[in-house]
């Protein structure tokens, strides 16, 4: 089995101080069900602490009142080589997050900060895999944004089409494990996109429907540790079999909004 080495990462996160579910823009969100802000904060804090304990650097953006989904920092932008492509959210409920993220980058010394022209939900749909970007579409990010990202971030972009509304962002159905390896749930993709994934990643780790349903693919890897929802037990076993170290976390309160580990974590690449 290949030895796995962790590379220290730089992340941006947003404390869920104003987290709640008071609108519905994906099938997981039911405003009729009460949320527990204290539980969301405590679960998120465990993820934050875990990243620090694993030796990663975590920056924090101030949560904005009235933007309950801002905790899902992955959606704020895509950052490669210090270049920042700021999101353009599909739904008006999240639109004001984009200027908040843009301001954070400008205030923190990023000089190349561009507001996306086309609908683009950041790393929710644009996953950086080595030299390429795997780009989701179908529910949120516009395919014109894929071309925009390819030009601005100077990477090859592979468009993947999502079909199941429960897996509305690419990062709910696929995770990058290292520069050349991924894991995904085939059932979330069109037959054409499944064929693309099989061709590019013949050895990918495949998730079961049960793993996907608990958001097991919404994971963050540092090349060795794979942080994922603890309920994704089959997936954890498969990752162990490949020499990764799965680390399960409990983010069930945030799952009420349709998000988990990866959604909370934006990677800053310099």
Exposed (0-12), middle (13-18) or buried (19+): which is 234, by Cβ within 10 Å? middle
Query: Of residues 219-258, which lie at the interface with ligand ARG (CB under 6 A)?
Result: 257-258
The reply to whether 216 sits near ligand ARG by the rule CB under 6 A is: no
Rounded CA gap, 161 and 140, in Å? 11
**Token code pair at residue 75:** 């959606």
Q: How far is CA 223 from the centre of its chain?
A: 16
Rounded CA gap, 34 and 24, in Å? 13
The reply to whether 25 sits near ligand ARG by the rule CB under 6 A is: yes
Which C-beta is closer to ligand ARG: that of 197 or that of 251? 251
Residue number with the smallest Cβ distance to ligand ARG:
263
Task: Considering the candidates 56, 169, 225, 264, report the single residue annotated as catalytic.
Answer: 169
The reply to whether 171 sits near ligand ARG by the rule CB under 6 A is: yes
Task: Considering the candidates 14, 56, 263, 264, report the single residue annotated as catalytic.
Answer: 263
Which C-beta is closer to ligand ARG: that of 23 or that of 152? 23
Rounded CA gap, 203 and 181, in Å? 8
For 17, which DSSP code?
A: T
User: What size, in residues, is the chain?
Assistant: 270
The reply to whether 193 sits near ligand ARG by the rule CB under 6 A is: no
Q: Does residue 48 carry a catalytic annotation?
A: no
Among 169, 225, 238, 256, binds ligand ARG (CB under 6 A): 169
The reply to whether 172 sits near ligand ARG by the rule CB under 6 A is: yes
Give the total of residues touching ligand ARG (CB under 6 A): 16
Which C-beta is closer to ligand ARG: that of 246 or that of 258? 258
Quote the least distance from Cβ 153 to ligand ARG, whole Å: 18
């309920």: which residue's tokens? 231
The reply to whether 136 sits near ligand ARG by the rule CB under 6 A is: no
Rounded CA gap, 253 and 237, in Å? 24
Contact 218, 263 (CB under 8 A): yes
Phi first, then psi, for residue 38 (nearest 5°) are -65, -40
The reply to whether 35 sits near ligand ARG by the rule CB under 6 A is: no
Task: Name residues whose C-beta falls within 8 Å of residue 171's C-beta, 6 or more positions apart in sequence.
Answer: 74, 123, 124, 125, 127, 136, 217, 218, 262, 263
Query: Of residues 56-115, which lie at the interface with ligand ARG (CB under 6 A)?
Result: 69, 72, 74-75, 94
Interface with ligand ARG (CB under 6 A): 25-26, 29, 69, 72, 74-75, 94, 124, 169, 171-172, 257-259, 263
């Amino acid at each position: 089995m290949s030895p796995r080495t962790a590379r220290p990462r730089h992340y941006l996160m947003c404390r869920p101080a104003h987290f709640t579910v008071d609108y519905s823009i994906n099938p997981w969100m039911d405003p009729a069900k009460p949320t527990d802000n204290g539980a969301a904060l405590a679960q998120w804090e465990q993820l934050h602490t875990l990243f620090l304990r694993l030796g990663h650097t975590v920056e924090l953006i101030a949560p904005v009142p009235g933007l309950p989904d801002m905790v899902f920092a992955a959606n704020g932008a895509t950052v490669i080589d210090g270049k920042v492509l700021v999101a353009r959210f599909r739904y008006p409920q999240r639109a004001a997050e984009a200027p908040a993220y843009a301001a954070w980058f400008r205030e923190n010394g990023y000089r190349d900060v561009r507001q996306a022209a086309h609908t683009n939900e950041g790393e929710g749909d644009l996953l950086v895999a080595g030299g390429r970007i795997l780009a989701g579409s179908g529910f949120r990010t516009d395919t014109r944004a894929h071309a925009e990202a390819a030009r601005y971030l100077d990477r090859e972009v592979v468009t993947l089409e999502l079909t199941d509304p429960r897996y509305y962002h690419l990062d709910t159905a696929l995770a990058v494990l290292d520069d050349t390896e991924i894991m995904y749930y085939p059932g979330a993709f069109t037959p054409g996109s499944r064929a693309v994934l099989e061709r590019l990643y013949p050895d990918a780790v495949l998730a079961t429907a049960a793993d996907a349903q608990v958001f097991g693919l919404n994971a963050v890897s540092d090349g060795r540790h794979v942080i994922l929802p603890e309920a994704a037990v089959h997936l954890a076993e498969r990752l162990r079999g490949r020499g990764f170290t799965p680390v399960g976390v409990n983010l069930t309160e945030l799952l009420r909004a349709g998000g988990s580990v990866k959604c909370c974590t934006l990677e800053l690449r310099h």
